[in-house]
Amino acid sequence: MSTTESAKPSGSPKSQPFDPGDPLGIDDLLDPEDLAIRDTVRTWAADRVLPHIAEWYENGELPGIRDLARELGSLGALGMSLQGYGCAGASAVQYGLACLELEAADSGIRSLVSVQGSLAMYAIHRFGSEEQKQQWLPGMAAGETIGCFGLTEPDHGSDPAGMRTYAERDGDDWVLTGRKMWITNGSVAGVAVVWAQTDQAGGGSGIRGFVVPTDSPGFSAPEIRHKWSLRASVTSELVLDGVRLPADAVLPGATGLRGPLSCLSHARYGIVWGAMGAARASFEAALDYAKSREQFGRPIGGFQLTQAKLADMALELHKGILLAHHLGRRMDAGRIRPEQVSFGKLNNVREAIEICRTSRTILGANGISLEYPVMRHATNLESVLTYEGTVEMHQLVLGKALTGLDAFR
Ligand SMILES: Cc1cc2nc3c(=O)[nH]c(=O)nc-3n(C[C@H](O)[C@H](O)[C@H](O)COP(=O)(O)OP(=O)(O)OC[C@H]3O[C@@H](n4cnc5c(N)ncnc54)[C@H](O)[C@@H]3O)c2cc1C
C-alpha cells in the first residue's frame, strides 16, 4: 500500500456513496432535530396532500382547509419560528425545511402556512400589543383561527405606498374603508391584518396596520375564481365598507411602510426554501421518467441531451438549497439583511420555474398532464414569481444596493 493510500481518512470518497437526492451532501449541515422536523412535515404532506392535490388543483379548491390548518397547527408549522404564545420557537432553518417540504407537495399549502405564520402572525407578534398577542396568536398557532394579510390593492401592488384604503378616527374608534386584492386565505380567515392610510389630510404616508376580526360589520371577502395558478389556495378580495374598530385594533409597533415590508421579508425568506421544494418535486419526476421512458430503443435518460438537462437542473436545485441554508443561518444569527432575502427570492424562484419548465420537456406530452406534478408546480410558481415582490422589484432592490442609485421611480 502506498503512503498516500495509507494516509486516507476513514471517510474517504469510496466510503461515501453518491446520493442523487443530495449530491452535495447538504444534509450534513442538519442536526437530528432538523432532520426529524423535515421528515415529519414530508410524511404529513405525503399522507394528507399528495394523494388529493391533483383533484383539488383541477377543481380549483382547497376543501377541508380548516382541518388542514389544525393539522399544520398540531405539527407546529404555524408561526413556527416565533417564540411563545403557543408557537413552536423553531429555528429559521427548521422553518425553511418545513416550507420546502410543503411546497414540494404544492405551493398552495406553503402559501397557507406562509401567510398565516410569516405575515398575519408575524405582524401581530412583532408589532402587536400584549393583549393582541394573547387574543390572537395561540388560536392561530393551533390553526383554529386562520389569518390573512391585506396590503395589495386593485391599483397598488408593487408600490403599496399609494394605497387608498384609509382609516379615520371617529371618537376613539377607527373606521376602515377600501379594498384589498389578491389576498391569500381571505375568505376563510377569522382575522385579517389590514394596512391602511391614516392621515389622508396630512399628505404623509401614515400607513398603520389594523387587526380586523372578519365578522366585523362591513367586512366581506369574496373569493377570486378563475385562477390558472395556485388553484389549491384560497385567494380573495377584501372589502372594507366602513368597518368600525375599537382604538386598540391598531398595531401599536408599526408606523409607515416599514411594518408591512418587514413582514414581507420574513415571508420571502420562506419562499427562498419553498421554491426549491417545487423544483425538487419536478426534478424527481423528470429523473424517474427519464430512467423508464424509452424512445429509439433506449431510456431517454441515456441520451446526452437529456443528461445535460438533468445535470444543469441538479446544479441549480442544489445551489438554491445551499443558498437557502446560508440565508437561514444568517437569519438564525440575527444577521440577515432584506437585500439578502431579495437575492434568495429572486434567484430561487426564477431557477425553480426554469427547472419545472425543463422537467416538463423531459416528460414530453405527459408533462402537461395532472398525472405528473411538473405543470402544476410550474403554473403555481408563476404566482410565486409575482407575489412577495416581483422579479423586477427584487432586481431593483439589488440594483440599488449595488450601485447606491434608486431606480424605482
Ligand atoms: C395568488 C396570489 C396571492 C397573493 N396573496 C397576497 C396576499 O396574501 N396579500 C397581499 O397583500 N398581496 C397578495 N398578492 C399580491 C401580490 O403581492 C402582488 O400581485 C404583487 O405585489 C405585484 O403587484 P401587482 O400584481 O399589482 O403588479 P404591478 O405592481 O402592477 O406590476 C406589474 C408589472 O410591472 C412591473 N413594475 C412595477 N413597477 C416597476 C418599476 N418601477 N420598474 C420596473 N418594473 C415595474 C412589475 O414588476 C410587474 O412585472 C398575491 C398575488 C397572487 C397572484
Cα–Cα distance for residue pair 382/157, rounded to 1 Å: 16
* Residue 316: partners with Cβ closer than 8 Å, 6 or more residues away: 279, 351, 354, 355
Are residues 267 and 368 located together in one domain of the fold? yes
- In the prediction, which pLDDT does 15 show? 74
Q: How far is the CA of 393 from the centre of ligand 1 (A)?
A: 9
Atom of ligand 1 nearest to the CA of 388: 17
- Answer yes or no: do 52 and 124 share one domain: yes
What counts of helices (H) and strands (E) characterise the chain? 13, 9
Give yes or no for residue 200 having a pLDDT over 90: no
List, for residues 42-68, the tens digit of each pLDDT value.
999 999 999 999 999 999 999 999 999
**Cell 493510500 belongs to residue:** 5
Distance CA 408, CA 393 (A): 8
Domain edge (last residue) among 222, 249, 276:
249
Residue 202 has pLDDT above 50, yes or no: no
148, 152, 228, 266: residue to mutate for ligand 1 pocket, most atoms within 8 A of CB: 152
Q: In terms of domains, do 50 and 126 share one?
A: yes
CB of 395 within 8 A of CB of 346?
yes
What share of the chain in percent tops pLDDT 90?
A: 94
Residue 388: active-site member: yes
Provide the percentage of residues in the chain whose pLDDT is more than 70: 95
pLDDT in tens, 127-172: 999 999 999 999 999 999 999 999 999 999 999 999 999 999 999 9
Whether pTM > 0.85 for this model: the answer is yes
pLDDT at 242 over 70: yes
Q: Which atom of ligand 1 is nearest to the CA of 396?
A: 42
Q: Are residues 156 and 274 in the same domain?
A: no
- Cell numbers describing residue 120: 398575519
State the closest ligand 1 atom to the C-alpha of 391, by its place in the atom list counted from 1.
47
d(CA 375, CA 379): 6
Domain membership of residue 305 (yes or no) is: yes
Measure 202 CA to ligand 1 centroid, in angstroms.
27
67: containing domain: 26-141
Of 89, 114, 141, the residue that ends a domain is: 141
Between the CA of 387 and the centroid of ligand 1 the distance, in Å, is: 6
Give the pLDDT score at 227. 98
Q: Kindly state whether residue 2 falls inside one of the protein's structural domains.
A: no
Say what the pLDDT of residue 13 is. Answer: 63
Find the CATH number of the domain harbouring 124. 1.10.540.10
Check pocket membership of 182 for ligand 1, CB cut-off 6 A. yes
Q: How many residues does the chain have?
A: 409
Nearest CA to ligand 1 atom 6: 183
Q: Atom 40 (ligand 1): residue with closest C-alpha?
A: 408
Give the mean pLDDT of 5-24: 72
Q: Are residues 203 and 233 in the same domain?
A: yes
Domain holding 179: CATH number? 2.40.110.10
CATH number at residue 306: 1.20.140.10
Query: What pLDDT score was predicted for residue 109?
Result: 98
- The torsion angle over the Cα atoms of residues 293, 299, 300 and 303, rounded to 10 degrees, is 180
Domain count, the chain: 3
Residue 115, ligand 1, Cβ within 6 A? yes
Cell of 296: 429509439
CA of residue 157 to ligand 1 center, whole Å:
4
Identify residue 258 by its one-letter amino acid code. Answer: R
Same domain for 71 and 89: yes
Tell me whether residue 47 is in a domain: yes
> Both 63 and 192 in a single domain?
no
Query: Is 11 a member of any domain?
Result: no
Whether residue 367 contacts residue 329, with contact meaning beta carbons closer than 8 Å, is answered with no
Query: Band of the pLDDT at 12, cuts 50, 70, 90?
Result: low
Which residues, including other chains, have CB under 8 Å from residue 377's CB and lie 6 or more apart? 106, 107, 278, 279, 281, 282, 352, 356
Question: Residue 2 above 50 pLDDT?
Answer: no
Mean pLDDT of 260-279: 96
What are the angstrom distances between the C-alpha of 101 and each of 181, 270, 357? 28, 11, 20
